[in-house]
Structure 1
Amino acid sequence: MHDVVIVGAGPVGLFLACELGLAGCSVLVLEREPGPGSPWRTEPLGARGLSAASVEAFDRRGMPRSLLTASGVRDGTGATPGADEPSRLPRGGHFAGMMLDPAEVDVAALPFRLPGPAPEGVLTSLEAVETVLFEQASKLGVEVRRGVTVSAVAQDDESAVARTATDEYAARWLVGCDGGRSAVRKLAGFGFVGTEPQFTGYTMHATVADPEKLGTGFNLTPTGMYVQMPMPGHIAMMDFDGGAFDRSRQPTRDHLQTVLRRVSGTDVTLSEVHLASSFTDRAMQTTTYRQGRVLLAGDAAHIHSPLGGQGLNTGIGDAMNLGWKLAATVHGYAPDGLLDTYTRERHPIGAWVLDWSRAQVAVMRPDPHARAIQGVVRDLIGTRDGTTYVFGKLSGASIRYDLGGEHPLVGRDAPDFRLEDGTRLGDLMRDGRGVALDFSVDRRLCGSAMGWESRIRYAAGPARSDLGSGAVLVRPDGIVAWAGDRRPDREAFERAAGHWFGRPAI
């Protein structure tokens, strides 16, 4: 019996598998599709944007070069950047199709940021992300079985079982990472609540006879929105029909051309449609991310429109948060209630993403009220503070878990602290352990970290910038669990270490 069975070999399932494999768990991943190749996962339709927080997650696990190479990201010299050669991608994004000016992002105003090699964002594809993660998972001993369709889920006090028509796969824990139509979510009986759609969206790869009739990038119009991507023929559009068309039938060339003409206000012609699909802004979330020995992550736990590019990034955040907690539970040293903090911390993030999506849909609606709000939002985004606010949301820089405590670093993603000898926090997190950084002159934590060596790596020395802290305790997912002042309190550190990492081994 495996420690964990994961259903779904997309980016979220594979990232979680890597986290568990890194911690020494036995992991089996089941995937319905027979093979990894699909036109929906390659460019242009499989293109995705990774936020700064997601790229940093790859960096902390030693995968930045592989990710950037697979994504075709190059820096200004034409060379694929390495660990200390950041890709200088512009800080940008949009809110309801209204673009941010990267030059107006006030980096100094973002909370507790330090420069590091990870770029602020990467344009990649699902295929590239999955390729990197599959290679990493294979190195860590994770088994992936494809062509497996789960048709039943059962659990008791000791294990959970995923069943197919002919086989069953038992594990101590079962995690559904099988997307927005999650079989695990339905079979395990998770509550799924939210709001119904306002629009039908379309994404297509087509040959456009007269592309000059369409504006480039995001175009918010009186009848909806369309996006003409940099890759020729890659077009997305939103038609405010209440979601009536989605999945009702396959979109034909004539239907897509009719919608595009209506939304764009042009007589553009589609010569040929090579691939097309529809989606909506239906926004739903499970009421909990755990039921007994069954858990959910990624789109299996929350669905929403692709506006803002938050789906993949939120899923990677789920996997990072869950991985180390589930591994600690498997190995038996998790403190009481640790696994329950997964829902407590990640459910509010998922709820925020749904509201972020809903707010954009409300602004985009083709009516006078929404157009009036658009004017206000454009004015706000046109300010430096407004641009920085939206970018902070898109990048993940503004996320903070409510972990208690008064120190402003606690609950935030840890800055990439760099010691005077050049060692980075990201370097110290490669093996998936927590990290205790002691910047104090008298090494006050030295000895206190004893007994947690298998779970916490201790590093001491002055930092190039300590942001006013004498020491920090960083969880394996990169979140600051505790921070002390210039003369950190050893007892407070030990309490925090015990709270998150259980009793010391000695």
Structure 2
Amino acid sequence: MNTIPESRHPAQDHTIYDVIISGAGPVGLFLACELALAKCSVLILEKAAHPHSPLKQLPFGIRGLNALSVEALYRRGLLNELEVPKRLKNPHQNAVQGPRRQAGHFAGIPFHDGDIDATQWKYRLPGSTNTNLIAEMEELETVLSRRAASLGVTIRRGLAITGFYQTADGVTVLSGEQSFQSKWLVGCDGARSVVRKTGGFDFAGTEPEFTGYSVKVDIANPEKLNPGRNLTPRGMYLQSQPGYLAIQDFDGGAFHGSEKPVTREHVQEVLRRISDSDVTISTLHFATTWTDRARQSTTYRNGRVLLAGDAAHIHSPLGGQGLNLGLGDAMNLGWKLAATIRQKAPEGLLDSYQTERHPIGVQVLDWSRAQVAIMRPDPHARALHAIIRDLMNTRDGATYFAGRVWGVFTHYDLGSGHPLAGYSLPNFELEDGAGIGELMHDGKGILLDFDMNASLKTLVGEYGDQIKYVSGRAKEQLGLSAVLIRPDGIIAWACDSEPDCSELRKAAARWFV
């Protein structure tokens, strides 16, 4: 635990917040919304003085939202507020449409719409939200900031957390000469998280194989470069639009680690070597570097301090998994931390954040490492690349890769029970035409009773306002009689026949008080 020197007397905000969140990116903002929805007081401290950056705007600000992220935004009434997904169907100019439209990629190897057999995903219904959407980081942050403000979240920008210390009852957070009090602190402050470092979390993993560059340039001879993604014997470059480039240079991450300035001359040298051309960069407008370093905190909690998003795990941005992983953390943690604060949490509820989300992080980091392994500029990687490409061009292969990239296969191990337990709720369309997700805007748990069993209504009434009772038939019920839904949209319990109230009671007691 950290201590403040006795000689130091920071100016104190005397408000005691339920939660302080470090970082006003999408993960911190979404977590704040979840907590505030459950009537928790939340303060976000963000080191950046303003939220705008060219790297958050199109085209560099493009992010792919997977099925779970789309469902989460839909269940909170936020999806329709995003305009970019409505107008931007494919981020690349001159993209092929129809069955051969690129639906995603693994290590730069595309899989196509026409090869995906969605009927293999038997729990996805016709009324489900999209399996994937193209979004813009800045718009997503704007929408989440607006929602957070409407729920009473306080956002303080230009205040970086410089330290903290915790007691059995709360956390004192320092920002320069100011201090703030809260019951809990959550680090959503990115790959170089101060909360993680100050809190003494072990950040284990693997070192990088490449330095990645994101640059905007003017090119004197643009015909020298091909559009789209180009794997070469020396690395990779992607030109999504003229002059907007992403480059991978397999230097072991040396340049990124050197912290040298990214100059026009350096970018030109790297691009010439990777593309094997005499391309000339006339102007460098901006540039940033990144790597495929893959690390994960061994625990997501230390006392009253928790981690989420890139503060808890970092990896290559290949395949766009990072944002989705972080939003999943926020959706999982929000209701559990809120229930703990409200003293409505069964024993072990908050610990389930670690047991459920850490394995998902392990899977995503390995997915990232696997992509890097077959993108290396060597004969072994090229051989693997050819085999994976052939597999992805089959129906089963494309369906598998799409299911992984889009989060369709994501599952929490909740122990024995119905096969649907631990999966995201199918969007059942009720008799009045509403999808069940539209009834989740308030963040409550739901018992969905297709057979209108009076005993079930009586049972969930014991949990007060924690669980809503919803009854009625649906157009497609997947053979189910009743479903207990957690606030994050995960199925906690389900049955196909007349429900056993004792089993439902056990399931409800695991998640609600």
**Please, what TM-score do these two structures have when normalized by structure 1?**
0.94
Summarize the alignment of residues 1-400 of structure 1 with structure 2, pairs less than 5 Å apart: 1-67=16-82, 69=83, 71=84, 73-74=86-87, 92-116=103-127, 118-229=129-240, 231-248=241-258, 249-400=260-411
The answer to whether residue 443 in structure 2 is matched with residue 432 in structure 1 is: yes
CA distance in 2, matches of 1:124, 1:417: 25
- Cα pair 1:91 1:391 within 8 Å, conserved: no
Corresponding position of 1:461: 472
Q: Please give the per-residue CA displacement for 1:389-429, whole angstroms capped at 9, x wherever unaligned.
A: 11111111000000012311000111111112213111110
Relative distance call for 1:295 and 1:205 in structure 2 (3 A) is same
Q: Please give the per-residue CA displacement for 1:101-135, whole angstroms capped at 9, x wherever unaligned.
A: 11111111125111336333222221101000000
Paired residue type of 2:512? F
Relative distance call for 1:19 and 1:441 in structure 2 (3 A) is closer
Partner-residue secondary structure (3-state), 1:100: strand
Q: Using the TM superposition, give the Cα deviation of residue 39 of structure 1 relative to its aligned residue in structure 2, in angstroms.
A: 1.8
Partner-residue secondary structure (3-state), 1:492: helix
Corresponding position of 1:80: none
Relative distance call for 1:202 and 1:287 in structure 2 (3 A) is same
Paired residue type of 1:14? L
Q: Using the TM superposition, give the Cα deviation of residue 447 of structure 1 relative to its aligned residue in structure 2, in angstroms.
A: 1.3
Q: Using the TM superposition, give the Cα deviation of residue 443 of structure 1 relative to its aligned residue in structure 2, in angstroms.
A: 5.0
CA distance in 1, matches of 2:438, 2:242: 39
Paired residue type of 1:245? F
Q: Please give the per-residue CA displacement for 1:240-260, whole angstroms capped at 9, x wherever unaligned.
A: 111110042112111111211
CA distance in 1, matches of 2:122, 2:49: 44
- Cα pair 2:219 2:243 within 8 Å, conserved: yes
- Cα pair 1:428 1:457 within 8 Å, conserved: no
CA distance in 2, matches of 1:356, 1:474: 29
Paired residue type of 1:36? P
Corresponding position of 1:488: 499
Partner-residue secondary structure (3-state), 2:55: coil
- Cα pair 2:102 2:110 within 8 Å, conserved: no
- Cα pair 2:25 2:188 within 8 Å, conserved: yes
Relative distance call for 1:138 and 1:441 in structure 2 (3 A) is closer
Paired residue type of 2:420? L
CA distance in 2, matches of 1:23, 1:392: 32
Paired residue type of 1:338? L
Q: Using the TM superposition, give the Cα deviation of residue 72 of structure 1 relative to its aligned residue in structure 2, in angstroms.
A: 5.6
CA distance in 1, matches of 2:64, 2:282: 29
CA distance in 2, matches of 1:212, 1:53: 40
CA distance in 2, matches of 1:442, 1:280: 55
Corresponding position of 2:93: none
Paired residue type of 1:2? Y
CA distance in 1, matches of 2:206, 2:183: 34
CA distance in 1, matches of 2:136, 2:306: 26
Partner-residue secondary structure (3-state), 1:454: helix
Runs of 4+ in 1 over 4 A off after TM superposition: 441-444
- Cα pair 2:310 2:326 within 8 Å, conserved: yes
Partner-residue secondary structure (3-state), 1:426: helix
Paired residue type of 1:214? L
Q: Using the TM superposition, give the Cα deviation of residue 498 of structure 1 relative to its aligned residue in structure 2, in angstroms.
A: 1.2
CA distance in 1, matches of 2:479, 2:209: 47
CA RMSD between the two structures:
1.7
- Cα pair 1:44 1:205 within 8 Å, conserved: no
Partner-residue secondary structure (3-state), 1:481: strand
CA distance in 1, matches of 2:57, 2:156: 21
Structure 2 unmatched ranges of 5 or more: 1-15, 90-98
CA distance in 1, matches of 2:500, 2:213: 56
Paired residue type of 1:74? R
- Cα pair 2:131 2:408 within 8 Å, conserved: no
Q: Using the TM superposition, give the Cα deviation of residue 441 of structure 1 relative to its aligned residue in structure 2, in angstroms.
A: 5.5
**Please, what TM-score do these two structures have when normalized by structure 2?**
0.92
Partner-residue secondary structure (3-state), 1:133: helix
Structure 1 unmatched ranges of 5 or more: 77-87
Paired residue type of 2:118? V
Q: Please give the per-residue CA displacement for 1:311-343, whole angstroms capped at 9, x wherever unaligned.
A: 011000000000000000000010001000001
- Cα pair 2:128 2:427 within 8 Å, conserved: no
Paired residue type of 2:78? M
